[in-house]
Structure 1
Amino acid sequence: MDSRISARALSAALGGWRTREPAYEALADGIRLLCLDNRIAPRTALPAERELSAALQLSRSTVAAAYRSLRDSGHISSTRGSGSVTLPLRRRDPEGATTTEDAIDLQQASPPAWPGLAGVISEVALSASTIVARTGYDVLGRSELREAIAARYSARGIPTSPHEIVVTTGAQSAIHLLASVLLSRGDRVVIETPTYPHAADALRRADARLVGVPVTTADGWDLDRGQQAFARTLPVLAYLMPDFQNPTGRSMTAAERHGVLQAAERSGTILVLDETTADLDIDRGTVAPGFIDGDPSLVVRLGSLGKTVWGGLRVGWIRAEADLVRRLVAARPAHDLGTPEFEQAVAAAALAQYDAVIAQRSHVLRAGRDALVAALRGSLPEWRIPDVHGGVSLWIALDAPLSSTLVMDVRSRGVLLSAGPRFSVDGGHDRHLRMPFTAAPEDLVRAVGVLGEAWPRVRGGAPVAMTEHLDSVV
């Protein structure tokens, strides 16, 4: 058994779980969703029935029935005297049946591979004899790739030397590496909420204490809250996505960039700017250069080719001052031995055609966004659909806090989504749903059809007390 979750922690993670009747099935669905989102890892021991019933103020028979439902659907196993443990999950619906091949998977917000990638890989493979003559991986990155990445930054108005670049195995690897080098147990980290959940997971694994700053599709970053958070907690690090933030799609204004930079400089906080979505422009024209004038020792940027070229091309990078690059390289062997050279060669060749890559991405994402927005506004007019100008997803405001229940309902009908709470730092967001527009337009329209059919049923199945409250506030 790898870990255990306490009744108190499980209660906090469940949030507003009681969104339908009977209560035991609502509780079981809440735990299923935590497992599906990997917020409860496989082989995690769940609280005893008596402990969880006390924490949730439920009868023990209700918790027992929920655990029985979870056993029936293959999400947990229980042994007398040893308790209940979550199981590794196959791709399954809530009733335990494996999902069909025609399921629409909108959990991953990554477009299909850039069409020119296959040709690039073929060309790189012709030089395989040269590549295999070398070690095969390195902790810093191939010089030609670092030069290409540095040139892209310099062209944006951010003068960069190849010595200020370290190549990683994707952006997620970069976040883990930065967290391990820059953070110690208990350090505070400012982070947007909602945010990219895997970044929050990486920071928590470094035993950081996360301080959430709200960002919304309508109003952007809450500068007052953000500046107070910097001044009050003196965070060591702040993780932000200033361009086409995931999941909201919002980009910082010049005033927001300036305000955040000032707050970070006053508190001595290192700004880690995740720019993995910054190039995914649809309407805006050019990408704002961001924190150009910031102290180089306080501004770290990370990027990758996962959202632009292909999610399967696991190549990312960190741009930082040379001293931090040296520290990262020294610490990296404890995490991985380096980025494979073949992937780096493919990445360098793709960057040579990057303008064409971005143009094609803009076309694909525009088609997906426009189809999704039109379908949602036609089928679910009661939802608030934001206007986004780039990125990969819509952060939709539902007219009831039933995102988790809706996700579980449509999952059994072949539409796989992530509920709003998955993107929360400190709970909530069950009134929101993230919908990527990276899939084919016809699949997005079909998914909206399923949502439109499910929503009245989900909303109607909420407990009477909740329905009365919703009707009074919507």
Structure 2
Amino acid sequence: MRPIPVDDPAGRLGRWSAGRGPLHLLLACRLRELVDEGRLPAGTPLPPDRAPAAGLAVGRTTVVAAYDLLREEGRLVRRRGSGTWVAPGGGRGPRRTANPMFVNLLEPPDGVLQPACAGPLWAPPEYVEAHRRALDRLGGPDLGHHPLGQPELRAALAARYTALGVPTTPAHVLVATGAQQALALLVRALVAPGDEVLVEAPTYPGALDLLREAAAVVRHSPAGDGVAFADALTRHRPALAYVMPAVQNPVGTTMPALERRRLARAAVGAGVPLVVDDVLAELAFAGPVEATAAHAPEVITVGSLSKVVWGGLRTGWVRARPALVERLARFRAVHDLGGSVLDQLAAAELLTGFDAVRDRRVALLRERHDHLAAGLRREPPDWAFDPAPGGQTLWVRLPRGDAASYTQVALRHGVAVLPVMAV
């Protein structure tokens, strides 16, 4: 294998240091790209620490730290006296996710019960009818590419936020292919390698995967505690803060209104972009929770229809400042030029009768929650849990052992559940 030239490492690495963040993380990110894209195949030797340090005009410790980080990830093999080279399998394209939530989705149907993937199992009849009405409206002159989102859906979402006490225009709304894409676009726009990001612990594992991919430094605050989160945000002033103040995933807690207000205002005062994930906020058993953005319109809100309507309706959105929305749209245009127009028209139709769809979904979830809670109190009485105030998950504390081992035992009995994801 041909190594990176010792006398000209910058020729292979390109403009690796043009971003923001510590140099060792920027160097590691560039090397990671070369390995994952196959441009540094397995077995490729890398030059000794001092050579690239001189060629890149950095300290030797920068190169050592970058190599060590990639060694910990399994991308490099590094042995004293033998050198450093790309690990076997290190150059076979992007690594597969180890997140058990996503792995469960990738597995073929095999008869295993899937409480690890919470969401409506069937699309409601209103969804089918909304698609029929949307089909009737297709056929007019429309190129079909809307990186910002289909105008009618953006207008419908803006009207809904305004009705909830958050003055919003279509310019504040970007439609995405689900909330996961919305979060991915926000991380790309607002987080550079080495940036600190504040999250709850535990939190939504899909967000953690995105932050790891961005090489962010993750700090955490106890889930559901708005006072502690606001204090940590003010103290650390991270590049981004991500929180689920209403029906938190996976714990299920909802911060009191005063805590949500304090958190929103603390973020604005500290100049920290606060991403509020409201995907589950509509599923509170006691009724919809007041939007956090009502206390501070500068708050960035992520929403979705997948948990209320159906996961197959890949329609999510971001509500943010128009300047940020335009920036996100440019990122999205590179990836997919915009989502399905038919799905977005159907989503706009659903929003006209959304409250009735949501109320039926909440009633069903409350009934299933009570059935599950009764069974847990009866069958394994030494398990501890607090009744959930909403959502689709129940946070259970085992009397002994660890969650990862329990999930393996459950899987052998035909049930897939999720352990706590480490921050």
| Contact 1:100-1:414 within 8 A present in 2 as well | no
Please name the residue that 1:177 is paired with: 185
CA distance 1:47–1:143, change in 2 (3 Å): closer
Please name the residue that 1:223 is paired with: 227
**What is the CA distance between 1:313 and its match in structure 2?**
0.8
| Contact 2:130-2:347 within 8 A present in 1 as well | no
- Which of 113, 116, 128 does residue 126 from structure 2 map onto? 116
Q: Kindly tell me the number of residue pairs found equivalent between the two proteins.
A: 337
TM-score, with length taken from structure 2? 0.73
Moved runs in structure 1, 4+ residues, more than 6 A?
Answer: 83-89
Superposed counterparts of 1:361-376, under 5 Å: 361-376=361-376
| Contact 2:261-2:295 within 8 A present in 1 as well | no
**What is the CA distance between 1:88 and its match in structure 2?**
9.2
Q: Residue type matched to 1:381 in 2?
A: P
**Whole-Å separation in 1 of the counterparts to 2:145 and 2:74:** 38
CA distance 1:408–1:83, change in 2 (3 Å): same
Q: Residue type matched to 1:266 in 2?
A: G
**Whole-Å separation in 1 of the counterparts to 2:263 and 2:339:** 33
**Whole-Å separation in 2 of the counterparts to 1:100 and 1:264:** 43
**Whole-Å separation in 1 of the counterparts to 2:279 and 2:97:** 30
| Contact 1:241-1:273 within 8 A present in 2 as well | yes
CA distance 1:144–1:242, change in 2 (3 Å): same
CA distance 1:275–1:182, change in 2 (3 Å): same
Gaps of at least 5 residues in structure 1 are 5-43, 52-80, 92-97, 426-474
Superposed counterparts of 1:295-334, under 5 Å: 296-297=297-298, 299-334=299-334
| Contact 2:247-2:254 within 8 A present in 1 as well | yes
**Whole-Å separation in 1 of the counterparts to 2:167 and 2:97:** 47
Please name the residue that 1:139 is paired with: 147
**Whole-Å separation in 2 of the counterparts to 1:172 and 1:261:** 22
| Contact 1:257-1:291 within 8 A present in 2 as well | no
Please name the residue that 2:175 is paired with: 167
**What is the CA distance between 1:384 and its match in structure 2?**
1.1
| Contact 1:142-1:341 within 8 A present in 2 as well | yes
**What is the CA distance between 1:141 and its match in structure 2?**
1.4
| Contact 1:124-1:346 within 8 A present in 2 as well | yes
Please name the residue that 2:292 is paired with: 290
Superposed counterparts of 1:425-444, under 5 Å: 425=423
**What is the CA distance between 1:258 and its match in structure 2?**
3.0
**Whole-Å separation in 2 of the counterparts to 1:305 and 1:205:** 26
**Whole-Å separation in 2 of the counterparts to 1:349 and 1:83:** 48
**What is the CA distance between 1:120 and its match in structure 2?**
2.0
Gaps of at least 5 residues in structure 2 are 1-34, 39-72, 81-86, 101-106
**What is the CA distance between 1:222 and its match in structure 2?**
6.2
**What is the CA distance between 1:158 and its match in structure 2?**
1.0
Superposed counterparts of 1:16-27, under 5 Å: none
**What is the CA distance between 1:338 and its match in structure 2?**
1.1
TM-score, with length taken from structure 1? 0.65
| Contact 1:99-1:414 within 8 A present in 2 as well | no
Identity of paired residues, percent? 37
**Whole-Å separation in 2 of the counterparts to 1:418 and 1:304:** 22
- Which of 212, 227, 239 does residue 204 from structure 1 map onto? 212
**Whole-Å separation in 1 of the counterparts to 2:414 and 2:187:** 37
| Contact 1:174-1:317 within 8 A present in 2 as well | yes
**Whole-Å separation in 1 of the counterparts to 2:289 and 2:231:** 28
1:211 is paired with a residue whose SS is strand
Q: CA RMSD in A?
A: 2.8
CA deviations 1:103-137 (Å, max 9, x no partner) are: 2111111122223212222332233433xx52223
**What is the CA distance between 1:248 and its match in structure 2?**
0.8
**Whole-Å separation in 1 of the counterparts to 2:415 and 2:329:** 42
Q: Residue type matched to 2:292 in 1?
A: G
Please name the residue that 2:201 is paired with: 193
Superposed counterparts of 1:16-415, under 5 Å: 82=88, 101-112=110-121, 113-130=123-140, 133-215=141-223, 220-221=224-225, 223-224=227-228, 226-282=229-285, 284-294=286-296, 296-297=297-298, 299-415=299-415
CA distance 1:222–1:141, change in 2 (3 Å): closer
| Contact 1:114-1:361 within 8 A present in 2 as well | no
Q: Residue type matched to 2:182 in 1?
A: A
Please name the residue that 2:56 is paired with: none
**Whole-Å separation in 2 of the counterparts to 1:87 and 1:210:** 21
**What is the CA distance between 1:352 and its match in structure 2?**
1.4
2:301 is paired with a residue whose SS is strand
**Whole-Å separation in 1 of the counterparts to 2:155 and 2:373:** 39
CA deviations 1:342-371 (Å, max 9, x no partner) are: 111111111112011111101221121111
CA distance 1:325–1:381, change in 2 (3 Å): same
CA distance 1:103–1:144, change in 2 (3 Å): same
**Whole-Å separation in 2 of the counterparts to 1:223 and 1:101:** 44
CA distance 1:3–1:232, change in 2 (3 Å): farther
The reply to whether residue 417 of structure 1 matches residue 417 of structure 2 is yes
**Whole-Å separation in 2 of the counterparts to 1:83 and 1:353:** 51
CA distance 1:335–1:188, change in 2 (3 Å): farther
**Whole-Å separation in 1 of the counterparts to 2:109 and 2:183:** 34
CA deviations 1:12-35 (Å, max 9, x no partner) are: xxxxxxxxxxxxxxxxxxxxxxxx
**Whole-Å separation in 2 of the counterparts to 1:413 and 1:303:** 35
**Whole-Å separation in 2 of the counterparts to 1:209 and 1:395:** 26
**What is the CA distance between 1:377 and its match in structure 2?**
0.9
1:391 is paired with a residue whose SS is coil
Please name the residue that 2:44 is paired with: none
CA distance 1:260–1:100, change in 2 (3 Å): closer
**Whole-Å separation in 2 of the counterparts to 1:197 and 1:419:** 11
CA distance 1:344–1:392, change in 2 (3 Å): same
CA distance 1:306–1:387, change in 2 (3 Å): same
**Whole-Å separation in 2 of the counterparts to 1:262 and 1:293:** 7
CA distance 1:88–1:228, change in 2 (3 Å): closer
